[in-house]
Amino acid sequence: MPGNSFGELFRITTAGVSHGPGYLVIIDGCPPGLPLSAEDLLPDLRRRRPGQSKLVTQRQEEDVPEIWSGVFDGRTDGTSIGILFRNTDPRSQDYSDIKDKYRPGHADFTFDAKYGFRDYRGGGRSSARETVCRVAAGAIAKKLLGQQGVRVLGYVKQVGDVIAAMADPSAVTLEQVEATPVRCPEPEAAQRMINLIEEVRKEQDSIGGVCELVAVGMPPGWGEPVFDKLKADLAKALLSLPAVMAFEYGAGFGVATARGSANNDPFVARGGRIGTETNRHGGMLGGISSGEPIVLRVAIKPTSSLPRPQRTVTRTGEPTEIVTRGRHDPCLLPRFVPMGEAMVALVLADHWLRWRAQCGTHG
């Protein structure tokens, strides 16, 4: 399998490269009758698009979605939804110098190793621009989840050594996230993050960080107990995004130093249902949702494209230097948030459909 599709019952397939004519996403499995228009996709697409602030790349792409199929009279009709995005500001000439050089941190060498040649204009198929397709599909998944009372929200928790202290991730609002260009809901930490990003940008460098993602309103019972654990599908979804280097949920790596007596979450009766006093398990037990908020974190690496000289080699192995031209994010975190939300929503929508098909009658 070529690996251009994701999901089982709610399935997306993407095509396109960053310096080609544009991108296409096909969405299969969306139930009929969902109210849907291009305008419904714009809020998340605008959160993802380049050029939205001086903290991100200044490539100017409006990312206007063209819905070609799957919608009739303002509602999904149950058939494949096709959405097209046209590239309008590629500046391919910025990449002529890297035709025969491998950029550190990029997939240039591995694409050559796999295919024997590569599209050297930007990142080609591995470009983060491909995520415009995922964010559009994720916006549709969010609408489906909203009908089930489930909300997905992400925010920047850390940039470099600046960490936001979030007492209750499930209480964060979209308004708090969008209040600053760095998308951190804690104002004091957000300003320190902005200052740090500005500092590294002036130094012609980049910085990484952590995005936290939360799904609230989750019912218990979604997910499969063995190979298709909810946590496993969420990990694959998020690790499939560009620049993601690590994934954890709940207490994450903190369990390595914990004792079982302190790490277990006691069960309690809560409002006519079963819940837990704490949520160190991150909303999933045995790969199945517990009904508590799902809490995930991913670590994002610093942008690999730098305007300063870096050592590398040519395709023939000759030592050389490279300076990456073009427009690149000094920090990927602000634009990553809607990408991460989209992948979480796609997984949850897929597992909701799987639960409905398998167990919905007893719910």
Reported as half-sphere exposure (CB side, CA atoms, 13 A), residue 174 has a value of: 10
> What DSSP assignment string belongs to 11-70?
EEEEEE-TTSSEEEEEEE-PPTT-B--HHHHHHHHHHHSTTSSTTS---------EEEES
pLDDT of residue 101: 87
Evaluate whether 160 touches 208 at the Cβ level (below 8 Å).
yes
| Cα dihedral 130→132→134→138 (10° resolution) | 170
C-alpha–C-alpha distance, residues 239 and 12, integer Å: 16
User: 361 is written with which tokens?
Assistant: 């009658």
How far is it, in rounded angstroms, from Cα 134 to Cα 242?
12
Q: From 1.10.10.10, 1.20.970.10, 3.10.200.10, 3.60.150.10, which CATH number describes the 5-362 domain?
A: 3.60.150.10
Q: By the 8 A CB rule, do 207 and 331 touch? A: yes
pLDDT of residue 63: 85
* Domain boundaries along the sequence of the chain: 5-362
Q: How confident is the model at residue 362, as a pLDDT? A: 47
pLDDT along the chain (363 residues), means of 10: 89 91 96 97 90 59 90 98 87 67 85 82 80 97 98 98 95 97 97 96 94 98 96 98 97 96 95 94 98 98 88 90 77 96 98 90 48
Rounded Cα distance, 290 and 219, in Å: 7
Q: Which residues contact 109 (CB under 8 A, 6 or more apart)?
A: 102
């200052």: which residue's tokens? Answer: 195
- How far is residue 184's CA from residue 316's CA, in Å, rounded to a whole number? 44
* Three-point CA angle 330, 333, 338, nearest 5°: 130
